[in-house]
Structure 1
Amino acid sequence: MPGGRQVAAVTDAHFDVAEGECLALIGESGCGKSVLASALLGLLPANARTAGHARLGGLDLLTADERTLARTVRGRMIGLIPQSPAAHLTPVRTVRSQLEETVAQLTGVRGRAAVRAAGRAAAARAVFPAGHLDRYPHELSGGLAQRAATALALVGGAPLLLADEPTTGLDRDLVEHTVDELRRHVDTPADTPGSSSGDTRRALLMITHDLAAAERIADRVAVMYAGRLVELTDAKAFFGRPGPRHPYSRGLLQALPDRDFTPIPGMPPELGDLPAGCAFAPRCERATEACGIRPRTTDSVACHHPHLTEGIRA
């Protein structure tokens, strides 16, 4: 915009997600997680700019045109569980009609009875009650809207599932059911073009604040702070021992009620006003003069003073 300023919402985000893997992307609100998800699907505002590459099945998502994204990527190559599910549901269509339309468009199911049965099955996977299928989005609670969006995202069996806060508004039992269903989705062979043996598995990128859900489902964990990835590591090592290496990552775990319940001091910086060096330095008890220079990523952690092998209290 004329007279406006540019803000680097996400910078240097280097990672991959393998077949059969769940990568959990975690970090405080406003750090750029959902912006990253929007970039992969071509859903950024018109004045946003992207650079780099995001490759899926030979296609660069960041340079694909809108026609390709709409007809080939969204729903077919990437299934999305959106952060604000009610806003993504069609307001003048019932949940049943949206599920059945998605089944007809993305699967090989044909015939009225078969499509209707497939829609009910999709709802059941997400524990969406059959008695609410004929309701409109405005008649749903936040948790029901979340379950409807999950059901829609799973219908196409896309090779990559992008779940942006998929457990919002759910009680603990439903959280566990949802992440278990997402795990089954990842572990189930995908019907992808060129795979005759059915041995190609799906991948899941889950953006979440729910660290308990991440621990339950993730193979690896990526931690984002102020628009940058600061740590990428194995989930068992992250949640167990030796624990996270970046002080911010460790602070996230120590803030949990079942851990130390100690909040990270201070507030995250504004993305438009980042310090010259390490963005976490003003909140970090390990910071020194060296942190005035932006740290390079070494051994999957971007920190001048990472924790080494000492564990974190379970």
Structure 2
Amino acid sequence: MTELLELDRLSVRFLLGQRATVRAVTDATLRLRPGRVLALVGESGCGKSVLAAALLGLLPGNAQVRGKAVLRGGIELLSAPEAVLARQVRGRLIGLVPQSASTHLTPVRTARSQLVETIRALGAATGADQLAERVGLNPADLDRYPHELSGGMAQRVALALALVADPQVILADEPTTGLDRPLVHRTVDLLAEAATDDRAVLLITHDLAAARRVATDVAVMYASRIVEAGPAEEVLTDPWHPYTAGLLAALPDGGFRPIPGHPPMLTELDRIEQEWGCVFCQRCPEVPGFAPCTGDPELREHGDRWVAAHPPC
């Protein structure tokens, strides 16, 4: 297996008693290869962070999970017992860079004490100062408390924590939330530097500009499904799916043209697909008069690039 991480039809549903079922992730299939930055992009609420939580075994008790997610070496993440995830995966094979790093850190302890504790717990050979320098942080800043760190500093501490055990995969879940544009650039540039010959980055973001800056590959997610995936340069310059085209059109260089309407509720996806054929067609500029989807029913695929069939998108 050349991939560091291989997802095959990963699906997650949340049961809300007798009231409803949230279809958070549907049949996600991805390949993460060494030296690559795969950006999983889409509007907030489409299921990106749920996918990340599934990989780390951090879903709540009402989650139903199916499919496979296999790390190089053979660990199947979705069926692995908690002992394996805690002792072999989290922090060791998969390093997490969380959303809002400053609130992720313990507020009453210095950054150094938290980094040293992580080094000790994972049995790593590197030192705290070495890790700080590796992520472009002055070692003296490690002696500050989280509230004394800027957003960019806190994010670098979070990246240093993720790199302690030199994991195969860096999973960055919305790591640029709340940062201004210069700090966004610095953060994603650091993540891109972490994608070496034996390591890869899965960057989960709603910031398409940040993804465009560093991603080698892109997967576009809408209403729980990945609707398009492939090399970043191709997907972001010649989108095949109307949703991808709409995201690009909403950027400044795309003319600030937002996609009309709102994403559907994840509790309504089964009904929408039954009635309309495609969960995007009610927002799709290619569908006249909000008619049921009549898109190409065949999966379009070429090399490493593909777009979801219609229906459903």
TM-score normalised to the size of structure 2? Answer: 0.83
Pick the aligned partner of 1:105 from 121, 124, 149: 121
Q: 1:292 Cα shift?
A: 7.0
Pick the aligned partner of 1:19 from 30, 34, 39: 34
Q: 1:271 Cα shift?
A: 0.3
Pick the aligned partner of 1:182 from 172, 188, 191: 191
What is the match of residue 301 of structure 1?
Answer: 307
Alignment partner of 2:234: what SS?
A: helix
Q: 1:296 Cα shift?
A: 6.0
CA contact (8 A) 1:126 1:178 kept: no
Q: 1:301 Cα shift?
A: 0.8
In structure 2, C-alpha distance between the alignment counterparts of 1:27 and 1:81, rounded to whole Å: 19
Q: 1:11 Cα shift?
A: 0.5
Q: Give the aligned length.
A: 284
What is the match of residue 34 of structure 1?
Answer: 49
In structure 2, C-alpha distance between the alignment counterparts of 1:128 and 1:171, rounded to whole Å: 18
Moved more, 283-292 or 147-156: 283-292
Unaligned runs of 5+ in 1: 110-114, 190-200, 306-314
CA contact (8 A) 1:33 1:207 kept: yes
Q: 1:44 Cα shift?
A: 0.8
1:218 aligns with 2:215: yes
Residues 215-267 of structure 1: per-residue CA shift (max 9 Å, x gap): 22211110000000000121111223xx1110000110110012221111110
**Any residues of structure 2 matched to 1:137-286 within 5 Å, and which?**
137-187=146-196, 189=197, 201-240=198-237, 243-274=238-269, 275-276=272-273, 277-286=277-286
What is the match of residue 194 of structure 1?
Answer: none
Residues 177-228 of structure 1: per-residue CA shift (max 9 Å, x gap): 32222222112x4xxxxxxxxxxx1111111122222122211110000000
Unaligned runs of 5+ in 2: 1-15
Going from structure 1 to structure 2, the CA distance change for 1:8 and 1:294 (only over 3 Å counts) comes to farther
Pick the aligned partner of 1:3 from 3, 6, 18: 18
In structure 2, C-alpha distance between the alignment counterparts of 1:210 and 1:6, rounded to whole Å: 28
Going from structure 1 to structure 2, the CA distance change for 1:4 and 1:147 (only over 3 Å counts) comes to farther
1:50 aligns with 2:45: no
Moved more, 150-159 or 82-91: 82-91
Alignment partner of 1:52: what SS?
A: strand
Alignment partner of 2:293: what SS?
A: helix
In structure 2, C-alpha distance between the alignment counterparts of 1:42 and 1:54, rounded to whole Å: 11
In structure 1, C-alpha distance between the alignment counterparts of 2:46 and 2:298, rounded to whole Å: 19
1:72 aligns with 2:88: yes
Alignment partner of 1:54: what SS?
A: strand
Moved more, 144-153 or 53-62: 144-153
What is the match of residue 63 of structure 1?
Answer: 79
Going from structure 1 to structure 2, the CA distance change for 1:87 and 1:39 (only over 3 Å counts) comes to farther
Pick the aligned partner of 2:98 from 65, 75, 82: 82
What is the match of residue 144 of structure 2?
Answer: 135
What is the match of residue 92 of structure 1?
Answer: 108
1:291 aligns with 2:307: no
In structure 1, C-alpha distance between the alignment counterparts of 2:162 and 2:297, rounded to whole Å: 38
Amino acid at match of 1:30: G
In structure 1, C-alpha distance between the alignment counterparts of 2:68 and 2:107, rounded to whole Å: 34
TM-score normalised to the size of structure 1? Answer: 0.83
Residues 95-132 of structure 1: per-residue CA shift (max 9 Å, x gap): 101111222333542xxxxx6xx212322333445444
Amino acid at match of 2:214: I
Going from structure 1 to structure 2, the CA distance change for 1:83 and 1:48 (only over 3 Å counts) comes to same
Q: 1:295 Cα shift?
A: 5.6
In structure 1, C-alpha distance between the alignment counterparts of 2:19 and 2:133, rounded to whole Å: 47
In structure 2, C-alpha distance between the alignment counterparts of 1:2 and 1:237, rounded to whole Å: 43
After superposition, the CA RMSD in angstroms is 2.3
Which structure features the higher share of strand residues? 2
Going from structure 1 to structure 2, the CA distance change for 1:262 and 1:298 (only over 3 Å counts) comes to same
Residues 143-190 of structure 1: per-residue CA shift (max 9 Å, x gap): 443232122112221001111112223333333332222222112x4x
Q: Which has the higher contact order (CA 8 A, sep 6+)?
A: 1
CA contact (8 A) 2:152 2:187 kept: no
